[in-house]
Amino acid sequence: MTRFSTSTLALSLLLVGCAGLSTHMETPRVSFVGLKALETGLFEQRLAVRLRVQNPNNLELPVKGLDIDVELAGEPFAHGVSAREFTVPARGEAEFDMIVTANAASALLRIAGGDRESRKTVAYRLKGKLSTRLGILRSIPFDETGTISVDDILGRHRKQG
């Protein structure tokens, strides 16, 4: 009976400790840094995406992978999975590159069809999860929004004239 009580106490302390960790962990912020077309086809595009992860927490964040869905102008745009490992310092940030696959016809048509002068940027949404090596906290979901330059999306970095 004593062994059962000791096991129950140990399990209770473990659960309380884990609950304390998750309540103090703030969600990292994920944002676009850049976007570059690698392969373009009629039905599928492969893009190199540079992302920034900002860690607002007092402990470093050992990331072992990322799963992300990208929306542009409210339309599904791309999906990617990366197993690249990196560490985001406590109260710091890190940038990394990953490849995403897009079936972007509807989003690109919507963006390209807009008035170029009045629409220099487009809204984006990054939704997914960071896989970590933080013991019990193995997956951290995120859902971030922002804006990105239409020229960056469409590759319009040529001189016009």
Q: The domain 28-154: what is its CATH number?
A: 2.60.40.1820
Q: Which residue has the higher pLDDT, 112 or 61?
A: 61
Is 60 exceeded by the pLDDT of residue 8? no
Mean pLDDT in the chain? Answer: 79
Report the pLDDT value the prediction gives residue 9, as an integer from 0 to 100: 45
| Among 1-15, 25-39, 114-128, the least confident range | 1-15
Q: Which distant-in-sequence residues (6+ apart) come within 8 Å of 70 by Cβ?
A: 49, 76, 77, 78, 79, 80, 100, 102, 124, 125, 126
Listed by start position, the domains of the chain span 28-154
Is 70 exceeded by the pLDDT of residue 111? no
Report the pLDDT value the prediction gives residue 46, as an integer from 0 to 100: 93
Is 50 exceeded by the pLDDT of residue 20? no
Q: Which residue has the higher pLDDT, 124 or 103?
A: 124
Q: Which distant-in-sequence residues (6+ apart) come within 8 Å of 75 by Cβ?
A: 106, 107, 110
With cut-offs at 50, 70 and 90, classify the pLDDT of residue 156: low
Half-sphere exposure at residue 81, Cβ-oriented, CA atoms within 13 angstroms: 1
pLDDT in tens, 41-88: 878 889 999 999 999 999 999 999 999 999 988 888 899 999 989 999
pLDDT in tens, 139-153: 999 999 998 887 766
Is 50 exceeded by the pLDDT of residue 118? no
